[in-house]
């Protein structure tokens, strides 16, 4: 016996939408409603600001195209130019592939919602989107830590570098990053999607971001919070410690160099990676490491800022990665020029 319940919510200024919940809610009624099962979610996005949605559509579309082209060129260059067959560029190719997968799991649906006002996403679609977002984010944290360790060995132990960073080692390091990120995402996603969601299916975000979805659960989420704290320690703090100590030793080694040319070259090889680390960790730490208990329903400005910050690390950072690495790296620029010249000759 399904109850007839109506979901009423405010979107796009003063327009009130009333949506029968036949297609949203399926209730087990046994004297009273014990659990309510949501079959789809509604992504709020920037529906409260309809006049700027078209601006965001153009900006996000432009950034997405840059992500696909820039990261695609880096992947092709790292594969076909033998000069880039080194651990550093292997990790960079993985990072570019990861950025394409990460944005492709969320940006197309965001663009559709901005232009067509179609904001609903199925329960299973939300789970898939959440899985890819969390998996790619976790993997990127580990990859950035691996890249910092690679730079540490290259600068602080150059004679032992070929032995320490052999092909077997750096392929294994990348594989561990992808596998651990996938396992972490499976745990977090399964714990989130097994929760009951009672009535409210409006996700105040562009995508099915895990923190926004957890706010809708009508059950104890202490286990989710505990596992997320453990995840933050393993995938945010641990790689950041590796990066910090790696660059501490790198800086110490660079300052001891007698050659000014050697110091400039060492700084040049590390500056691009360090810039990406600062941008990525700065935004993601603000989102996932700050206290969430202070976020109340009435704090619209805070929620809007969270969504914009999420957009920043979810779209802007993957767009900046190939730009930073190509503009600050002579090897990448020469490889791209070489490939373009080969294509023009053929």
Q: What is the DSSP string of 117-178?
A: ---EEEHHHHHHHHHHHHHHHHHHHHHHHHHHHHHHHHHHSTTTHHHHT-HHHHHHHHHHHH
Average pLDDT, the chain: 78
The neighbour count for residue 113, using CB atoms within 10 Å, is 23
- Give the pLDDT of residue 345: 57
- The interaxial angle of helices 300-311 and 260-288, nearest 10 deg, is 140
- Give the pLDDT of residue 301: 53
CA distances 129 to 101, 134, 136, 185, 272, Å, are 11, 9, 11, 11, 29
C-beta separation of 270 from 251 below 8 A: no
Q: Is the pLDDT of residue 118 over 60?
A: yes
Maximum alpha-carbon separation in the chain: 82
Q: What are the structural domain ranges in the chain?
A: 41-291
Q: What is the pLDDT of residues 130-179, one digit of tens each?
A: 999 889 989 999 999 999 999 999 999 999 999 999 999 999 999 999 99
- Give the pLDDT of residue 3: 37
- Give the pLDDT of residue 5: 35
- The H or E element that residue 343 is part of is helix 330-345
> 199 vs 85, which has greater pLDDT?
85
CATH fold of 41-291, please? Rhopdopsin 7-helix transmembrane proteins (1.20.1070)
Q: What is the DSSP string of 255-323?
A: HT-S-HHHHHHHHHHHHHHHHHHHHHHHHHHHHHSS--TT--TT-HHHHHHHHHHHHIIIIIHHHHHHH
Q: What's the rounded Cα separation, in Å, for the pair 69 and 72?
A: 5
CA distances 252 to 68, 148, 239, 269, Å, are 37, 15, 20, 15
Q: What's the rounded Cα separation, in Å, for the pair 252 and 262?
A: 14
> 212 vs 178, which has greater pLDDT?
178
- Give the pLDDT of residue 37: 64
Q: What is the pLDDT of residues 5-63, one digit of tens each?
A: 333 333 333 333 334 433 433 334 333 344 446 778 888 776 666 777 788 889 889 99
| Chain centroid, CA 67 distance in Å | 13
- Give the pLDDT of residue 160: 93
- Give the pLDDT of residue 328: 64
Q: Is the pLDDT of residue 278 over 70?
A: yes
- Give the pLDDT of residue 4: 35
**Would you state the structure tokens that stand for residue 252, as one six-digit string?**
């110490």
Point out which residues pair with 122 in neighbouring strands.
40
Q: What's the rounded Cα separation, in Å, for the pair 156 and 112?
A: 49
Point out which residues pair with 38 in neighbouring strands.
25
Q: DSSP 3-state assignment of 15?
A: strand
- The interaxial angle of helices 123-156 and 238-255, nearest 10 deg, is 20
> 51 vs 99, which has greater pLDDT?
99
Classify residue 105 by its DSSP letter.
T
* pLDDT range class, residue 266, cuts 50, 70, 90: confident
C-beta separation of 38 from 123 below 8 A: yes
Question: Which residues are within 8 A (CB) of 285 and not within 5 positions of it... i.e. 6 or more apart?
Answer: 236
Q: Is the pLDDT of residue 2 over 90?
A: no
Question: Which residues are within 8 A (CB) of 145 and not within 5 positions of it... i.e. 6 or more apart?
Answer: 238, 239, 240, 242, 243
Share of the chain above pLDDT 90, in %: 31
Q: What is the pLDDT of residues 173-208, one digit of tens each?
A: 999 999 999 999 999 999 998 888 877 788 877 788
- Least confident among 34-38, 221-225, 269-273: 34-38
Q: What is the pLDDT of residues 59-78, one digit of tens each?
A: 889 999 999 998 998 898 88
CA distances 71 to 59, 74, 156, 232, 336, Å, are 18, 5, 29, 27, 12
- Least confident among 1-10, 102-111, 121-130, 316-325: 1-10
C-beta separation of 112 from 125 below 8 A: no
**Would you state the structure tokens that stand for residue 93, as one six-digit string?**
């190719």
Q: What is the pLDDT of residues 290-312, one digit of tens each?
A: 555 444 444 455 566 666 666 77
- Least confident among 31-40, 251-260, 281-290: 31-40
- Least confident among 76-85, 117-126, 229-238, 291-300: 291-300
- Give the pLDDT of residue 1: 39
CA distances 78 to 97, 176, 204, 311, Å, are 11, 20, 39, 28
pTM strictly above 0.95: no
- Give the pLDDT of residue 169: 95
- Give the pLDDT of residue 12: 38
- Give the pLDDT of residue 186: 95
């Amino acid at each position: 016996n399904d109850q007839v319940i109506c979901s009423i919510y405010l979107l796009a200024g003063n327009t009130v939408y009333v949506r029968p919940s036949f297609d949203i809610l399926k209730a087990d009624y046994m004297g009273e409603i014990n659990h309510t099962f949501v079959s789809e979610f509604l992504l709020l996005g920037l529906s409260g600001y309809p006049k700027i949605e078209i601006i965001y559509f153009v900006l996000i579309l432009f950034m997405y195209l840059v992500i696909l082209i820039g990261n695609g060129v880096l992947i092709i260059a790292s594969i076909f130019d033998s000069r880039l067959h080194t651990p550093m560029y292997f990790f960079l190719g993985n990072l570019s592939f990861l950025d394409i997968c990460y944005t492709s799991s969320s940006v197309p649906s965001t663009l559709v919602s901005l232009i067509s006002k179609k904001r609903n996403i199925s329960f299973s679609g939300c789970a898939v989107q959440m899985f890819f977002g969390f998996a790619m984010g976790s993997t990127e944290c580990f990859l950035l830590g691996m890249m910092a360790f690679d730079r540490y060995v290259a600068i602080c132990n150059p004679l032992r570098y070929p032995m320490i960073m052999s092909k077997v080692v750096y392929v294994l390091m990348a594989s561990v990053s992808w596998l651990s990120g996938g396992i972490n995402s499976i745990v977090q996603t399964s714990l989130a999607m097994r929760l009951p969601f009672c009535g409210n299916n409006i996700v105040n975000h562009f995508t099915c971001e895990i923190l926004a979805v957890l706010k809708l659960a009508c059950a104890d989420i202490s286990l989710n919070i505990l596992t997320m704290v453990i995840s933050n320690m393993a995938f945010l703090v641990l790689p950041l410690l590796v990066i910090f100590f790696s660059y501490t030793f790198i800086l110490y080694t660079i300052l001891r160099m007698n050659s000014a040319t050697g110091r400039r070259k060492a700084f040049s090889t590390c500056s691009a990676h360090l810039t990406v680390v600062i941008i990525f960790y700065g935004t993601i730490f603000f989102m996932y490491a700050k206290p969430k208990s202070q976020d109340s329903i009435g704090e619209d400005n805070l929620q809007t800022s969270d969504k914009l910050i999420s957009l920043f690390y979810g779209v802007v950072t993957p767009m900046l990665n190939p730009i930073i690495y190509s503009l600050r790296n002579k090897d990448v620029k020469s490889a791209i020029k070489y490939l373009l010249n080969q294509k023009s000759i053929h």
